[in-house]
Structure 1
Amino acid sequence: MASLTGLVRSTLSSVVFGAGGAQFPYQVGDPLPDQDETSLWTLHHGTRRDDQSAVTVFVFEAAKDRNRVPLAKNAYRKLRTMRHPDLLNYVDGLETADLIYIVTQPVVPLRAYLAEHHGDAQLVLWGLYKIAQALEFLNGTCQVVHGNVRASSVFVTAAGEWRLGGFEVMSKPADTDPVIKSYYSLLPDIGPYSPPEIDHGQRWEVLQDNATLGLLDAWQFACLMCEAYSNRPLRSDQDLSTAAIPSATMTRGYRQLLQPTPTTRWTVAQFRAAGEKPGGYFDTEFIRTNLFLENINVKDEQEKTAFFQQLSQHVGDFPPTFCTHKVLPELLKCLEFAAGGPLVLKAVVAIGQRLSDEEYAQHITPTIVKLFAIPDRALRFSLLECLDQFIPHATDKTMDSVIFPHVAAGFVDTAPAIREQTVKALVVMAPKLSASTLQRGVLTALTKLVHDPEPGIRTNSLICVGKLGKHFTAANHTTQVAPLFARSLRDPFSHARAAALMAISATAEYQDAKDLATKLLPVVCPALLDKDKVVRVQAAKTAQTLLKRVDAAAQEMPASSPTMSASGTKMPGINGSSGAGVALAGDGGQEGGWSGWAVSSLSRGLTALGTTMVSARLSDGGVTSTSPLVTSTASPPPSALSSASAVPPTTTGLGLNAMTSPLALDTPNDPAEANQGWQGLDDLALEESPSSTLGSQSTTIGNAHKAHAQDDWDTPWDLNSAAASATASRALGSSTSLLSAKPTSKAGLGGARPSSLQQRREDRKLKLQEHREQKKKKSLGATKLGT
């Protein structure tokens, strides 16, 4: 076989580059596999020399079969003059004394195609429909008889379209010496394909009548149906009766084509018309779709809209090769000429999912790129919606340098729907974009969109930032992303605030821990008490996320940073190696560590405060008292004093109950000594003077009494004096000394006394304030208080 192939190529080359073939612009390649043995022709792969486009070259070698040269020459002449979409598309040819070349569109023999796609009933049905159309054209319009309709005369394109060839005996029966009458018997194995009137009686006159001209082709068309559904060559008449025709209605038409009497036999046109009736064998969605696409240029807009609306629902059921090479090119033409728009695009994208990357780049990508440049909002919106299905097949360079500049225009589009869909498209585009595009163009655009007037766009922009966080640098997060989130938490739209919180959680791992602690946590915490529950719930989740992130960063830090001494040398912190470390109570340090220091200091401070409050220069001779304040003029019982002095002071804890109580000091029994020259509290006579009455005021302190006329002092002063008098009266009404109550426990001594002491200190403050006011009044003529 290899030597035979080499001999054929050598012969072809010598002819092509010989004297007659110098201008032949095609390169003849290797023969196709699975050649049909009943054909006169050998099919070869071929390419056009100038653009390397693929073709198929039919080669007939005269030296091998001189008797059939007239058949090959007739086929060559007829094919050059016949033009129909369902006939084999003639491209070029060359005829020499030894060889005949016919160059056509790329095709394969039907038998080879059926061996690969056997069982696809839609393709077979559509192929038979196309052959029926071709025969109707030949028999009706051209008034010629094909005479060689069988599987070896049918070829299939890459789209799965059947094309009728085999024009070896095509002729007009009305001619004086028709080729079919003279050379029909030279066709290889033509016997099983001949009807009774030709096979037995040679009644060629039947074909001369226009009404019966197509009866031979009708019989052979039935033979083709048998071969197509049985997927084997026809050997005898018995094979016709056992054909596996798929439907009952088609079986009836099939039998009408095989009527032995010519006058009762259907023509191919009758068979096709019966199948196109509602419910007929040719009335299928697949055939209707193909017929509409072939005539789409003459359809009105309403018909196109209805067709494209239902196309995307059915295109998934069509054969993949057919969609790629038949349906898809027609749809792409519609898009390029602005027909169908978004409806067509959906069908195109659906077909594109069944293509390889190479096929996608070849058929769909160029058109999609052109569509992005069209200023049609409806089409742009549809493109952005389908972008996630287009992205996997596009290269990074195409997305970054060609498509993204057109997409970026949507950020500033006046239509809110375009802006919002552009934001959503960024999520699927990001993996295909360069780092500079993401960190400059994308982030800058999103920063502006979080201030968009539409709340939905602001919300989606924040979600987009959260999804793209991993693509931004640390500097982007510090200078742009974190401030963006902080501003968005003040958004009046609750869902925008919730989206900001979710985005903060999503990008927490990319944020600097210091930024989380100083910039984001302070703005997240107020959201914990947001007026909308959805925000509060998300704020709680976000706060927990940030705290975990900050805590993890804190665990990696040293316990304390080293400090500098006065001499400029570093001193170790808590974890330093110096022996002069600080013993912590929680770390096993000695008892009374840092907590003990705090309690002692606090006790000393509060005790000093109580003593200072009593130590004041009074007007009765300038006597200064430094003893603790005692709020009762009566001497307590000895039992109370002994009990009080017997209870040791408590120093546990950090509360006020833990400090050393000044009430444990010795209290003098003499009332005069206890009051240090002051009158007892029970002897004080205080009168309330409401600030609303500006009449005569009277104040009694000790033995001094001074009445003065109404003056112009500020009202707050009067209010302070009245409040102090009222407080003193209440205090005098309940002057039971704390020392008179015997504590039953340390808790009782440490808990009840300080609270009562605090109340009495407050009362004493008010008395001292009143005293200072009286001193100020001296300048108005008041006499000095006596001793």
Structure 2
Amino acid sequence: MDYLRNLGSAAVSSLVQKSGINLPFSLGQKVTSFETFWNLYDATKRDDGSPVSVFEYDFNHPLNKPTIPLARNALRKLRTIRHPDVLKFMDVVETDTVIYIMTERVRPLPLALKSWSTKSAEEREDWLLWGLHRISVALAFVNESCSSTHGNVRTNSIFISPSGEWKLGGFEVLSSPKDDMAVIYTMGGLLPDAMSYAPPEVKKSGWHNLKEQDVAPADAYSLGLLLHSVFNPTHPPPATAQPPHPPPQPSTRGAIPVALFPSFKKLLNPNPKARMSPKLFLDIGMAETAGEGSGFFSNNRLVKVCTGLDNFSLGSEAEKTSLLRTLKESASSFPPEFASFRVLPSLISALEYGGASAATILPLVLQFGKNVSPEDYSSVILAPLIKLYASPDRGTRMALLDHLPEYAEKLDKKVVVDKIWPHLQTGFTDTVAVIREATVRAVVLLSLKLNDRILNNDLLRHLAKMQNDIEPSIRTNTCILIGRLGPTLGYNTKRKVLVPAFSRALKDPFVHARVAGLMAFMATIDCFDVEDMAGKVIPGISSTMLDKEKLVRDQAFKAIDLFVKKLEAHAASMVRIPSCRKLRIFRLLVSPKQLKPKMALWSP
């Protein structure tokens, strides 16, 4: 197996497949090794190419033989324990020589801690408290709901998702006293550095002593050690690790937050019966009125945001407004991965519910979307927004149309034609005027992405009806839109549509609609043949030169002047007939006999 590993992940996949194993993933780069237990690889799923992680356990490694039961226990527990804060199991490949466990894409906590060491103290504290909150929730679930002891809470058993969330893993010795195959009581000491993380009762009486205790105290003590190690990575272990177990002194607090320190000491109580459980630690941290030393989780901004996002659909309008205001004010200070992979998906999910909040949520989605890489923008931001065009909720539709300028350029032409236009065109016949008007404005931004069939047929039919809308602003904007579309229309369509459309606007009772008609004529001057200018356009405009509104009259004279100059320039370029040739033609048309009587009248 070492030989295979040295060949590289691609060769491993190839050789394993040749041996008859159908891997559901393609191994990528090796991330790290966990003592003699697991090798962690980045990988991709074969069916959809999505990123995953793969844990490899080699049965043939000499140092792994005693720990094979622990590896099998880790697989069994990971398969059965499902929780948002637990490492997500996806698939497994197991043979006589190797176990491959596929999970969501993660990286080990120690690597993440190194990257966060350069952050400011405030940012780092926020992130650590948020992570400890998630691990406390996971441990409370393992202890209370699963009636089990994790037994391996340390930095190497915690993993970070792409969103920055902490996930509990390391289930090698996770056991329940009711489980006949429980391994922690007999094999807990086989974990690397087991005694360094063991609680005082284990150091005193061995791992089998845990079977006589409650399931939570051992994990509580490990949680205290974890808390100390993430806040004070360069400090020695707390004094409670060795007899006579003196309580931590304030001078040893280091970077541990002041509010957290009292609970930290209770987690390290050498008496398991008096030790604070992870569930109680979580409750005190989330309490808001329990007095001094409480609320260290509930006051954390990342915890607040996550809690608010998780309960968004159930919250009151006041709670939703408060959360959205917090997101808007703090957007730039959130960790990039938290903003892109935690906040953004939750906002998009909340947006699907529509309602009054849609107008506030969509700008936030686009704001957080600025941090998304260009190659991911289409799938992360545009795909959910495109689906929302099918929503019947008017608040959602209005928000999409109002903010279209921010994402219109990134839309693909095929997507606009196939997925947006079928739903967008329903806005032309909406009973709410603001939706109809917003739909007209939206077409201006999307017109270059519409195909010829839509431009020259479907769209113009809708606009013809919109020119008779009861709302004068909609009629005005429709005329302006047709003027902008003019140069992109087909030749025959221009000749049939533009003059009647703009002439209709010149007869509109709304003054600005008439002005829009004149300006549209001027803007599309290159779309008209000279014959149409002379025979249709100028006669149509001339009536507005005596309009009762000065604004219209002034614009009419400008329009007439523009078209007359255009015709003058054309007339000057026309071919002239020489004077001698004109005389010959004249003679052919009029005989001398016909001229004589007239000339006689001219004689003196």
| TM-score using structure 1 length | 0.61
User: Separation in 2 of the partners of 1:569 and 1:357?
Assistant: 74
Q: Deviations over 1:174-231 (max 9, x none)?
A: 8899633443333223455445554577587477433xx433323332343345456x
User: Separation in 2 of the partners of 1:339 and 1:49?
Assistant: 39
Match of 1:385 in 2: 402
CA contact (8 A) 1:463 1:499 kept: yes
Q: After the TM superposition, which of the residue ranges 345-354 and 157-166 deviates more from structure 2?
A: 345-354
1:411 positional shift: 2.4
The code of the aligned residue for 2:101 comes to I
Match of 2:222 in 1: 220
Q: Deviations over 1:451-493 (max 9, x none)?
A: 3222111111122233334423555444422343233223221
* Matching of residue 157 in structure 1 with residue 161 in structure 2: yes
Match of 1:59 among 45, 48, 56: 56
Match of 1:441 in 2: 458
User: Separation in 1 of the partners of 2:23 and 2:76?
Assistant: 20
* Matching of residue 249 in structure 1 with residue 259 in structure 2: yes
Q: After the TM superposition, which of the residue ranges 314-323 and 99-108 deviates more from structure 2?
A: 314-323
Indicate the SS of the match to 1:487: helix
Structure 2 alignment gaps of length 5 or more: 242-247, 289-294, 588-604
* Matching of residue 272 in structure 1 with residue 282 in structure 2: yes
User: Separation in 2 of the partners of 1:550 and 1:117?
Assistant: 72
CA contact (8 A) 1:27 1:46 kept: yes
CA contact (8 A) 2:4 2:12 kept: no
Match of 2:470 among 429, 444, 453: 453
Match of 1:425 in 2: 442
User: Separation in 1 of the partners of 2:444 and 2:92?
Assistant: 55
CA contact (8 A) 2:469 2:475 kept: yes
1:549 positional shift: 5.4
1:361 positional shift: 3.3
Match of 2:37 among 29, 37, 40: 40
User: Separation in 2 of the partners of 1:370 and 1:535?
Assistant: 44
Higher helix share: 2
* Matching of residue 85 in structure 1 with residue 84 in structure 2: yes
Indicate the SS of the match to 2:99: strand
Q: 1:17 to 1:253 in 2, by over 3 A?
A: farther
1:41 positional shift: 0.7
Indicate the SS of the match to 2:524: helix
1:428 positional shift: 0.8
Match of 1:497 among 502, 514, 518: 514
Q: 1:312 to 1:233 in 2, by over 3 A?
A: closer
1:416 positional shift: 2.5
Indicate the SS of the match to 1:145: coil
User: Separation in 1 of the partners of 2:551 and 2:3?
Assistant: 78
Match of 2:245 in 1: none
Question: Which protein has greater RCO, CA pairs closer than 8 Å, 6+ apart?
Answer: 2
The code of the aligned residue for 1:214 comes to A
| Root mean square deviation of aligned Cα | 4.3
Match of 1:557 among 569, 573, 576: 573
CA contact (8 A) 1:145 1:217 kept: yes
CA contact (8 A) 1:245 1:251 kept: no
The code of the aligned residue for 2:412 comes to T
Q: Deviations over 1:305-348 (max 9, x none)?
A: 66886587468455443444444445555566778884565554
User: Separation in 2 of the partners of 1:198 and 1:535?
Assistant: 93
* Matching of residue 130 in structure 1 with residue 134 in structure 2: yes
CA contact (8 A) 1:372 1:380 kept: yes
The code of the aligned residue for 2:98 comes to L
1:38 positional shift: 4.2
Match of 2:175 among 171, 174, 196: 171
Greater C-alpha Rg: 1
The code of the aligned residue for 2:514 comes to R
Match of 2:97 in 1: 98
User: Separation in 2 of the partners of 1:10 and 1:478?
Assistant: 67
1:162 positional shift: 1.9
| TM-score using structure 2 length | 0.77
1:287 positional shift: 2.4
User: Separation in 2 of the partners of 1:10 and 1:477?
Assistant: 63
Structure 1 alignment gaps of length 5 or more: 571-787
User: Separation in 1 of the partners of 2:494 and 2:254?
Assistant: 70
Indicate the SS of the match to 2:170: coil
User: Separation in 1 of the partners of 2:178 and 2:311?
Assistant: 34
Matches within 5 A, 1:334-349: 342=358, 347-349=364-366
Match of 1:107 in 2: 106
Match of 1:413 in 2: 430
Q: After the TM superposition, which of the residue ranges 271-280 and 43-52 deviates more from structure 2?
A: 43-52
Q: 1:27 to 1:383 in 2, by over 3 A?
A: closer
Q: 1:507 to 1:114 in 2, by over 3 A?
A: farther
Q: Deviations over 1:281-316 (max 9, x none)?
A: 43345423423444567x378689668865874684
Number of paired residues? 563
Match of 1:26 in 2: 24
Q: 1:469 to 1:505 in 2, by over 3 A?
A: same
Q: Deviations over 1:224-256 (max 9, x none)?
A: 3345456x6887559998786474323554454
Q: Deviations over 1:393-420 (max 9, x none)?
A: 3210121233223322332334323321
User: Separation in 2 of the partners of 1:174 and 1:447?
Assistant: 76
CA contact (8 A) 1:312 1:350 kept: no
